[in-house]
Amino acid sequence: MTDIQKQEIERYRGELETDVRKLVDKYLSISDWDIPEIDEHKSIEYILQVVRSTLDDVENEWKKRGR
């Protein structure tokens, strides 16, 4: 990746962070609706584990494509 590509991606870092936070909030809200007495901290930990695992899967798929 060139420096220019890195700079371009870095420009969107804030948007990416916002999107990920919204994603976590979305699934936390859904779990709260389904189970009102849920432990919020454990839910967030689990949601983050799933997000990390999914990111790993996406990365591996891209590597297999040779990109």
User: If the chain, 67 residues long, is cut into consecutive pieces of 10 residues, what is the mean pLDDT of each piece?
Assistant: 87 94 92 75 92 97 87
User: Which pLDDT value is given to residue 40?
Assistant: 85
User: Which pLDDT value is given to residue 24?
Assistant: 93
| Phi-psi region at 66: left, alpha or beta (left = phi > 0; alpha = psi -120 to 50) | left
pTM of structure: 0.74
Is the Cβ–Cβ distance between 30 and 50 less than 8 Å?
Answer: no
User: Which pLDDT value is given to residue 30?
Assistant: 86
